[in-house]
A and B are shown apart, each in its own frame.
Chain A
Amino acid sequence: MFAFLIRRIIQAALVMLVVASIAFLMFRFLGDPISNLLPEDATVEDRAEMREKLGLNDPFLTQYGRFIVDAAQGDFGQSYRNNRPVSDLLAERFPATAELVLVAASLALALGIPLGIYTALNPRGWISQGLQVVSLLGISVPTFVTGILLILLFSVSLGWLPSFGRGTVVDLGGWTTGFLTLSGLKALILPSIMLALFQMTLIMRLVRAEMLEVLRADYIKFARARGIPNQILHFKYALKNTLIPVMTIFGLQLGGLIAFAIITETVFQWPGMGFLFIQAVNFSDVPVMAAYLVLVSFLFVVINTIVDLLYHVVDPRLRVEKSTARGV
C-alpha cells in the first residue's frame, strides 16, 4: 500500500508539472492584461512601465521558470486585478465552492443511488419509466438553463429562495460557512440542485444499468436458485458489485463537480473559486487563472488517488493482485 502511494505521488507531481506548463502556455494567448488595468487614454509610457512592473517584458523562459519555481512553493503571485496574493484569494473562495460541491455531491448520491436501485428492481413500473424520461432531460438540458429555470420558478414566481449569493455566512476563523444561518442554508438550495442534477441523473442511470447487468449474472441466478431471499440477494450480493464502477465514475465526477461549479457559480453569483476564475478570464488575470487550473487538477489527482485506494477496500481481489500487477 505504501509503495503504491509513493508511486501515485510521483505520478501526481508529474501530472501537476504538465498541467502548470499547459496553464502557463495557454494563458499567454489570452490577451493583454494591461488594457484592462490602465485607463483608456493611458500613455504609451504608462503602458510600458506597467508591463515592466508586471514582468511581462522578460523573456518567455524567464517568466515560465519564475512561474514554475514560485508555483511549486504555493506562491502564485499577485492578482493583476485585485492587487492581492492569488493564494489568499483562492483560500478565501475555497469554502464557498467546497460547501456547494459537498451539498451537491451528497444530494446526487443520496438521490441517485436509491433511485437507480429502484428503477433496476422495478424496470417495468410506471414510476421507473417516468424517472427514466426525467433523467434524460436532466442529462440533456444545459445546466445554465436549469439554473435560470430554477431561479424563475423559485425566486421570481414563488419568491421562496434567493436568486443570488450565499446569504449570511459565519466566519469560523478562515472558513466562512453558510451552514449555520437560515439565509445561508436557503441560498445553498438552488445552486446545489442545479449542480447536482446532472450528476444525480448520471448516477441513477449508471446504478440502474450496472444493477441490471449484475442481476443477470450467473452467481445471482445460482444464489436465487438456492433460495436466498431477494432482500439479501439485491442489497448484499448485487449492490456491492454494482458500486465499484459507480465509485470510479463518481470520483471522476467529483472533480467534474468542482469544474462544473464555474457555471453554477456564474449563474448564482456564488463567490467561489469558479467565479473567481471566470472573473480572471475576463481580465486576463493570468496568475489567478493559472493557480486555479493547477489547484483544480491537484484536486482531481487527489480524488483519483483516493478512489484507487477505495477499490482496494471494496474489492478484495485487488488486494491480492497488487503484489503481482505493478503500476495500478
Chain B
Amino acid sequence: MTPRKFLLTATSALALAFAGTAQAETFRLGTNGDLYGLDPHSMTDSFTVSFLNHVYEALVRYDADLKIEPALATRWEHIDETTVRYHLREGIKFHDGQDLTAEDVVASVNRAAHEDSPIRGNIAGLVGAEMVDDMTVDLLLDGPNPLLNNFLTNILIFDRGWLEEHDALEPIDAQKGEEGYTTSHANGTGPFRFESRTPDAQTVLTVNEGWWDEAQHNITRIELNPINSDATRVAAMLSGELDMIVPSPLQDAKRIESAEGMHVLEAPGLRAIMMGFNLSDTLNNANTEGNPLQKVEVRQALVHAISYDLLRDKIMRGKSRNLGTLVAPQVPGFDAEVDTIPAYDPELAKQMLADAGYPDGFSFNMNCPNDRYVNDAAICQALAAMFARVGVKVELTAETKAIHFERARANETDMFMLGWATLPMLDGYSVLSAMLHTPGGQMGTWNPGGYSNAELDRLTQAVATELDADKRLEMMVEAFAIAKNEVAWLPLHAQPLSWAARDGVSIPQTADDKPRLWLARID
C-alpha cells in the first residue's frame, strides 16, 4: 500500500466512521413535566402513560389520525355481550427476550383491573381476562361496552414472568410503604427500550431493533428532558440543546418562528375549556335571593354577553378554536350544528336579564385556576369584564389548581372553570357521564353544580351500552344539543396545542397532545 493510497483508505474509513455516528439519531425531547414513574399501571397521568407507550404497548393503539388500529392484537370479535375475544400477533418478543403470549395479557389486564389498581377507573366495566389458548384472550365485561378498545389503548402489557420474578404481579399501592420494582424498571414490547432514568433530570430510551412493527422512525435513542420553567425550555430549544419541546408557550411562538432553523407546530387540541355553573337553590356569594343562574334565560344571557372572537384573538392570540359545544371536533359526539357560536349581543343580554327579573343585574363569585390551562386566569378576567358590561358583577378568585378543583368539586363556587379532553376514552360519553348526568354513583362525578335533565340521563345510559356506532353517535349529538340549549355548561374554546421543533424534525401532531416518536423522523 502506497502512502497516498493508505491516506485515502484512512480518510474514507474515517468518513465512514463519522457517517456511522451521524446515523445514530438521538431525539432530545423537552417537556414541561417529568414522568411519574415507569409503571403505566400506577398512575393515570396522560403524559406519563403516553410516553411509556414507547416502551410498552397495548392490544390496540391510536394511529396518527386518532383512529384505533391493531397493535399487539391483530383482530378481535364479540363472542357475546360480556365477552370480547382478542387474537394476539405472532412472534412478538419482550425486551428481555421472552415471547408475548396470552398469559402475559391476562396477567396485565388483571393487574390493571385489580381492586388496588390506581387505573381501575380508566377501564370501567372490565371485569378481567381469561386465557383461551396461547395466543387468544377473552376480556370479560359486566355488560356491552362500546368503548372497550378506547380503554385498551391505555392498558399496557407487561411480561408475566418478569412481573412474577420481581414480585410485581399486583399493582403498586401508594401506601404500601415500599417502592415497586416496576417504578424504576421496565420491560415491554415497544419500539424503544428503557435505558436509564434520573427523576426530574433525564430519561433515556434506546431503539428496539427487534420491534415487530415496521419502523417509520429513524431514531436510535430518545432523551426525555423535563424542563418545567417555560422560559428555560424555550431557551434550551433556541440554544440547540433540544430537538423538540412540548408544549411550547403560546407567547413565545413568534420568537421561535423568527429564530433560524426552528418552527412551531400548532393545532387545536382536544381539550375543551368551559365554565360550570352552581345550579343549586342558593348561590354561595351573591347579592340576590335564590339563584339567578338556575334560570335558563339568565345563562343564555351570559352566553350573549361573551365575545368569543375577542377571547380568541386577544387572550389566546388567535390560536384557539371557538367552541359552541362541549367537545372538540375530533371527539365522537361533536356536531357542527350544535357547535354554532351564539351572537355577541350585550344589549340582547341586558334585555334577557331584565326579562328574567334582573334589570339591574346581580353579582356572584367566579373561581378560576391560574396554573392549569393556557391563560386560564386571563380568560376569567376577560369574562368578568364582559359580564360587567351587561350588569352582572363578578368577584374573581384565581388560585392554584389543587385548591380550585377541590372547591369546584365541593360546589363552593358560583361559577368555575374546567377543561375536559375526554382522555383517555376520547369519546363524548366521557362528558355525558361525568359532567351532564345527574350526580349519583358512578355518574356525574364532575357535575358539582347539580345539573339534571331526565332526557339527557336516559340518552347517556343508552350511549353507554349501544354497540351500533351510528346510532350511538346520533344519541350523543342529541344529548349535546340538549346541553347546549339549556346552557348546562358554558363552552368557550378548544385549547390550542403548541409544540416547537428544529427544522429537520418531522412528527405528526395529534390533537391529544401526545408526541408519538415512533412516527417521527429526524435528519
Contact = CB atoms under 8 A, between A and B. Distances in A.
Q: Which of A44, A81, A162 counts the most chain B CB atoms within 10 A?
A: A44
B446 A43 contact: no
A165 B202 contact: yes
Q: Which of A55, A82, A152 counts the most chain B CB atoms within 10 A?
A: A82
Interface string A15-59: 000000000000000111101111111111110000001110000
A176 to B, nearest CB: 8
A317 B434 CA distance: 73
Given A32-B406, A43-B442, A279 B200 contact: yes
B198 interface: yes
Contacts of B172: 83
B231 A148 contact: yes
B235 A166 contact: no
Q: Which of A33, A267, A269 counts the most chain B CB atoms within 10 A?
A: A269
Q: Which of A30, A85, A165, A267 counts the most chain B CB atoms within 10 A?
A: A165
A39 B122 CA distance: 8
Interface string B412-450: 000000001000100000100110000001100110000
Contacts of B120: 46
B111 to A, nearest CB: 15
Interface in A61-94: 78, 80-85, 88, 92
Given A35-B406, A83-B37, A41 B430 contact: yes
A31 B400 contact: yes
A271 B239 contact: no
Interface in B147-185: 172-175, 177, 179-180, 183
Name the prevailing secondary structure of the B interface residues.
loop
A42 B173 CA distance: 17
A283 interface: yes
Contact of B405 (A35, A148, A275): A35
Interface string B195-218: 000111110000000000000000
Contacts of B202: 165
A54 B241 contact: no
Contact of A266 (B228, B404, B446): B228
A267 B241 contact: no
Contacts of B238: 156
Given A38-B44, A40-B434, A84-B183, A152 B235 contact: yes
Given A35-B409, A155-B241, A164-B232, A275 B175 contact: no
A54 B175 contact: yes
A279 B231 CA distance: 17
A214 interface: no
Contacts of A181: none
A291 B404 CA distance: 25
Interface string B34-67: 0011000011100000000000000000000000
Contacts, number: 148
A90 B248 CA distance: 30
B121 A269 contact: no
Nearest to A47: B445
Contacts of B434: 40-41
Q: Which of B121, B233, B434 counts the most chain A CB atoms within 10 A?
A: B121
A300 interface: no
A144 B287 CA distance: 43
A106 interface: no
A284 B404 CA distance: 12
A282 interface: yes
B406 A40 contact: no
A266 B183 contact: no
B405 A32 contact: yes
Nearest to B240: A159
Interface string A275-297: 11011001110000000000000
A159 B239 contact: yes
A257 interface: no
A163 interface: yes
Q: Which of B43, B225, B229, B400 counts the most chain A CB atoms within 10 A?
A: B229
A41 B446 contact: yes
Given A54-B174, A83-B174, A164-B227, A31 B402 contact: yes
Given A38-B121, A53-B175, A156-B238, A83 B402 contact: no
A45 B445 CA distance: 10
B175 A162 contact: no
B403 A30 contact: yes
Given A31-B406, A38-B121, A163 B232 contact: yes
B236 interface: yes
A309 to B, nearest CB: 36
Contact of A80 (B174, B231, B241): B174
A169 B236 CA distance: 19
B156 to A, nearest CB: 16
Nearest to B122: A39
A40 B233 CA distance: 27
Contacts of B360: none
Interface string A175-195: 000000000000000000000
Nearest to A36: B402
A308 to B, nearest CB: 36
26 contacts: A31-B400, A31-B405, A31-B406, A33-B402, A38-B118, A38-B121, A39-B119, A41-B445, A42-B445, A46-B121, A82-B199, A83-B37, A85-B177, A92-B199, A151-B231, A151-B235, A156-B239, A159-B239, A163-B241, A164-B232, A165-B202, A166-B201, A269-B201, A269-B232, A275-B200, A276-B200
Give me the 8 closest cross-chain CB pairs, A-B, nearest first: A31-B402, A32-B406, A39-B44, A31-B403, A155-B239, A271-B201, A41-B434, A284-B402
Given A83-B37, A83-B183, A155-B236, 5 more contacts: A31-B401, A32-B405, A83-B36, A83-B174, A156-B238
